[in-house]
Structure 1
Amino acid sequence: MTIANPVLPGFHPDPSMIRVGDTYYIASSTFEWWPGVRIHESKDLAHWNYVGSALDRVSQLDMRGNPSSGGIWAPDLSYADGRFWLIFTDVKTVNGAFKDCVNYLVTADDIRGPWSDPIRLNGVGFDASLFHDDDGRKYLVQQTWDHREYHHAFNGITITELDVDTMRLMPETTRTLWEGTDVKVTEGPHLYKINGWYYLFAAEGGTQYEHQESVARSRTLDALSFEVMPNNPLIGNYDAPDGYLQKQGHGALVDTPAGEWYYASLCGRPWRHETEPSHGVRGWCTLGRETSIQKIEWDADGWPYVVGGRAGTRYVPAPKDAILTEAPEDHSQHDEFDADVLGPDWNTLRVPFDEHMGRVGGGSLTLRGQGSLCNLFELSLIARRWQAFDFDAETKVSFDPKTYMAMAGLTNYYSDLFWSWAFVTYDERRRTRVIEVAQNDNGDYTSFLKDDAIAVPDGADVWLRTCVRTSTYTYEYSFDGDTWHEIPVKLDAKVLSDDYVAQRYGGFFTGGFVGLAAVDVSGYGEEAVFDHFDYRELA
C-alpha cells in the first residue's frame, strides 16, 4: 500500500496527528470557517474519512466579526486518561502588532463528540499544544507572541504547567524551552518523550515557501535546555523549487503499533502560468495548505530524518501493519437539499447556518439576502473547499429581485477581500432581471458585463455553472439546464490563492471555496431558492 500525498487535499493545514490503538486521527485548522476544527480518521495513513468537527456549537466558539484568516489556528489533538483533548486558538487580530488570541481546551470521550464547552487558558501566543508527561503532569507548549516593535514578534517556545485538578494554568511555572534558530518565526510546537529524550518539533521560516520544521531535544524541561538537531531542518522545500510538494512543515509525529514512525505536515501544491519562470515565481496554491505524510526514521544519534530526503516525496510506503481503510476516491458532491441540515461538506463563515441566513430541506435551500460578500458579521453564504485543480460546480436558482441591491448566485471565494461570482440581480434601466459577473480583488470591485449583462426571460429560473481549470476559471449560464452558454469573462485563479493574498494582506492561510450566496444590501431580505448543488472533480 502507498500513501499518495497530499492525503487531505484542499485547505487542511496544520495537521495534528495522533494514534489511539489501531486508528489514526488528524485535526486541522479551519480559521474563520464554521464548524471549527475538522477531524479525519484512518487505519492505514493513506485513506482518510471525515468524522466531524469538534467545535459545532455557539457556546464553544464565537467568531462573529473575526477577520479573514483569523479564528481557529493550529488545533492540537491528544489522547490521555481515557479521553481526547483538544487545544485551539481563536485569533481576533491578523494585521499589525497584536494578535489578540485566546487559547482554549475542550475534551471528549469519543472523537465524534460531543465535545465539552471550552476552558479558557491564556493568550500568551498561538499554536498551543498539550503535552502529557509520563509522570502524570501536563503542560501547555506554545509559540509566544511579542507585540513590541523593537523585538522579533516570535519570542520562542514557552511551557506552562496545567493544574489537572482545576484545569487552570499555573503562570508561575512558565519558562522558555527554546528560542528557535536563526531561521526565526518559530511556531507550531509539539513535544514528545521518546527513549528518555524530550523532542520538540516546531515550524520555522513562516508559512510560505521558506517554511520548514525544526527539531530540538533535551533530557529535561528546564528553561533553554534544548539543543538543535545537527542536520536541521527535518523537512522543508525552500531549496527544492521543483518538488511536487512545497511549504512542508508544521506538523505532528506518530508511531505505528509495529514501531514505525510517520510525520504529518502541511504542504502546498503550486502551479504557474506558462509565462512565469519556474524558479522566479514559486507559484500559486489555489487549493490552500493541504496535509501530507512522510515516513520518519532515526539515525544512530537518535535524531529523526525524512526517508527520501528533507524535501519529502509524493509517494510514501504505508505502514507494514496498515489496515485497509475504505474512503472515497475523490470529493465530488451532489446535494438535492432534502435533509433539514446542511451536509458535512458545507461550511459557513464565522457562525453556523441559522434562520438569519435561510433554511434548508424538502428539496431546496433558501438563502435570505444579508450583507455583501465583504461582510464579517451578516452573510448568507454556504461553501465547500476546492479539493481539485479542475472541477465543475453548478446550481439552479429561483430569484426575483426588484433592486440592483439584491443579488444571488454562485461564488468562488477566498475571503472577504478576494472573491468573484456570477449572480442574478435587477437592472432598473432595462426593468428586467440580469446575470452579471463581478470580482472583488482586495477591495477593487469590478462588474464585467455592465450594460451587456445577460437578460433573464420573464418567469425563467437560472442555472449557473463555474468551470475551474487550474490557472483560470469561467462562469456559464442556462435557462433550461441543458443548453449552456459561457459568459465571456475568464478569471485568473491565482487571485484566490494564499500566495496572491499574501502580497496584499496579512491573513493568507485558507484556500479557494465554491458555494452559494444571497445578498440584499437594501436590508429587505430578498430570498433566493437553490434547487441543487453539484461539485464534480475532473480526472
Structure 2
Amino acid sequence: MSLIRNPILPGFNPDPSIIRVRNDYYIATSTFEWFPGIQIHHSRDLKNWKLITHPLTRKSQLDMVGNPDSGGVWAPCLSYHEGTYYLVFTDVKSHIGPFKDTHNYLITAPDIMGPWSDPIYLNSSGFDPSLFHDDDGKKWVVNLVWDHRKNRNSFGGILLQEYSSEDKKLIGPIYNIFKGTKLGLTEGPHIYKQNGYYYLMTAEGGTRYEHAVTVARSISLFGPYEVDPIGPILTSAGRPELKLQKAGHASIVHTQDNELYMVHLTGRPLKPSMNCNLGRETAIQKAMWTEDGWLRLADGGISPQTMVEAPLLPEYPFEVEPDTDHFDGEDINIHFNSLREPLSEEWITTKERKGFLRLRGRESFSSSHRQSLLARRQQAFSITAETLLEFEPKTHQQMAGLVYYYNSKNYYYLFISHDEEHGKCLGIMSSDHGKYDELLEKTISVDGWEQVFLKAEIHYEELQFYFSKDGISWSAIGPGLDASKISDDHVELKIGGILLDQGFTGAFIGVCAQDLSGQRIHADFDYFTYRERE
C-alpha cells in the first residue's frame, strides 16, 4: 500500500482549495502580501506535488502597494466548469481592529496556466469567498459577513448570492444561510452537492490551535442547514501530542475511481514554544461518505494523520529541483516572491550584468510600499541559505544582504553597509514586534573585499549567520538567534485585550537591498542557494 506523507505542501501554503480536471489535480493556496498572488500546485497522484503557476501576476489584477502585513490575498477558491477555470479571492486592505476592508474578486482562464483575466469585482461584505456551480447552471458566491458592531459575533454568518456570468456581477437577493456553531469564528465556506444534499463545509474555531472543520447539510441551497451531529469532522484541538496541529479550512475532491480526499490547513509547531515558523501548511486526509450521508475521515476519527493511504493511481513523481539559482537566465525562479508588487526592471534585473541578480536599493523593511526584496518560503525545519554579494555602499543608509523575514516588524538581517570608522562593514539587525536592535557589539570591517559570501543555517528554533571571503572558510557572526520568533504565533500581539498585530504567513529567506538616501545604489548577487538538510 502506497502512503502519502503530510504535509503535502510544506511551508507557508494555507487555505487549500482543491479540484480535479480529468486526470490532473490542482490546489490553490493563499499568498497574502507576497507577489505574485495565489500559488497553484499540480499533481496526478495526490502524493507528489509541484508548484506550476501564479494566476495573479499583473498590477491590473492585484495592486497591494500599501497593504498591511498579512493583508492581500486571502483564501482563494479554485473551480472548473465547462472548460473554464474560476478563481475567487479576497484582497484585504485592513484587518486589525473592529473593521476589515475586504474586497472580493473573480478571475477566469481557459487553461490552468492562463492567461488569467483581469478581476471582476464581487463584493466587500467579508472574506473567504467561494464559487459554487449548481446542476442547473446557476453560479453562487458564498462568503462570511463581517460585523464590526460592539457585542456582536464578528463572524456574522455565511452569505449566499447568485453570480451572473452574463452581467459579470452578483445579482438578486443576499441570503444568510448559516450562523455557525458554538465553536464560532465561522469562515472558509465551500458548498458541495452529493446525493441530493447541499453540503456546506466551513472552518471554525479560528485558524490557530482550536481550528476545526464543520459540515452542515440541507436539501435546499438556501437552508436550513443541519449541522453534523458529531460536531467537527476534523480538528487537532485538545490533542497537543499530534504532529499536525491547527487542522481546519478544508476542501474535498473525488478521484477518477470515486475515492474521496480532503485537503486542509495545518501547522507543525516547534517545541516547546509551539510556534510554527513554517507557517500554515497543507495536508491531506482520506475521507468517505457514510451510509446516512455524512462526511467522515476514512479511519473513523477526527484527528489529522501524518501518513495517509494513497489513492489507486499510478505514482507521478516530479524531477528534484536544483538547490542553487545562478541567475543565468532572464526568468526568476518560480519559488521567489516579492512584497506587494510585481518584479520590475526599475528595481530588479538579471539583464544588466550576466549571471547576477541586481537589486536597486529602495525603502526600508518598515515600508508597506516599495521594498527591494526577493525571498522564498522556508519549507523544512533544517535549511541552509547562501549567497555571494558584491556591493559598494557609501553611507550607512545603504544596505544589502541576507534576510530571514516574517513581516515589517519581525525579521533578522545580515547586511553589508558603510561605517565612518570601518568603511564597508557587516552588521546584523533585528526587529521583534517592531523593537529594533543591532546584534553586534561593533561592526565587522570587510573594507576592500570585492565579494562577501553570506550564509544562514536554520535548525528548528536555532538560526546562525555566517560570512566568508572565499566561500570555503566560514566564520560565524553574531549570536545564535531564535528562529521560532519568525512565526504567526510569536507575531500575534495583544495588550490589555486589544489585538495590535497578527500574522498569517510564514518564514521567508532571501536577499534584499535598501537605499534610504534615495540614490538607489545597486547590489549584485551571484547566486542563491536554498538547501533542505532534513
TM-score, length-normalised on structure 1? 0.96
Quick check: 2:38–2:54 contact (8 Å CA) kept in 1?
Answer: yes
* 3-state SS of 1:499 partner: helix
Quick check: 1:357–1:379 contact (8 Å CA) kept in 2?
Answer: no
Aligned residue number for residue 383 of structure 1: 375
Does residue 291 of the first structure (1) align with residue 285 of the second (2)? no
1:47-446 paired onto structure 2 within 5 Å: 47-170=48-171, 172-222=172-222, 224-272=223-271, 276=272, 283-308=274-299, 309-320=301-312, 322-328=313-319, 333-361=323-351, 362-430=354-422, 432-446=423-437
Does residue 462 of the first structure (1) align with residue 452 of the second (2)? yes
In the alignment, structure 1 segments of 5+ residues that lack a partner are: none
The percent of aligned pairs where both chains have the same amino acid is 45
2:122 partner letter:
L
Q: Distance in 1 between matches of 2:437 and 2:180?
A: 44
1:250 partner letter:
H
C-alpha deviation, 1:332, in angstroms? 5.8
Quick check: 2:11–2:281 contact (8 Å CA) kept in 1?
Answer: yes
Aligned residue number for residue 516 of structure 2: 521
C-alpha deviation, 1:328, in angstroms? 4.6
The C-alpha deviation readout for 1:137-191, integer Å capped at 9, x for no partner, is 1100111111112311100111001122112101x42101110001100000000
Q: Distance in 2 between matches of 1:462 and 1:133?
A: 59
* 3-state SS of 2:328 partner: coil
Quick check: 2:249–2:265 contact (8 Å CA) kept in 1?
Answer: yes
2:418 partner letter:
Y
Quick check: 1:14–1:75 contact (8 Å CA) kept in 2?
Answer: yes
The C-alpha deviation readout for 1:350-399, integer Å capped at 9, x for no partner, is 00111332312420011111111121111100000001100111001111
Quick check: 1:247–1:267 contact (8 Å CA) kept in 2?
Answer: yes
The C-alpha deviation readout for 1:222-244, integer Å capped at 9, x for no partner, is 2x500100012010001211001
In the alignment, structure 2 segments of 5+ residues that lack a partner are: 495-499
C-alpha deviation, 1:124, in angstroms? 1.1
Quick check: 1:70–1:91 contact (8 Å CA) kept in 2?
Answer: yes
Q: Distance in 2 between matches of 1:271 and 1:495?
A: 10
Aligned length in residues: 525
Q: Distance in 1 between matches of 2:350 and 2:334?
A: 14
**Range that drifts further, 452-461 or 146-155:** 452-461
Quick check: 1:70–1:507 contact (8 Å CA) kept in 2?
Answer: no
* 3-state SS of 1:54 partner: coil
The C-alpha deviation readout for 1:104-160, integer Å capped at 9, x for no partner, is 000001000010111001111100000000011110011111111231110011100
* 3-state SS of 1:523 partner: coil
C-alpha deviation, 1:506, in angstroms? 3.7
Q: Distance in 2 between matches of 1:164 and 1:101?
A: 22
* 3-state SS of 1:500 partner: helix
Q: Distance in 2 between matches of 1:310 and 1:333?
A: 37
C-alpha deviation, 1:212, in angstroms? 0.5
Does residue 530 of the first structure (1) align with residue 525 of the second (2)? yes
Q: Distance in 1 between matches of 2:319 and 2:66?
A: 35
**Range that drifts further, 354-363 or 259-268:** 354-363
Quick check: 2:449–2:469 contact (8 Å CA) kept in 1?
Answer: no
TM-score, length-normalised on structure 2? 0.96
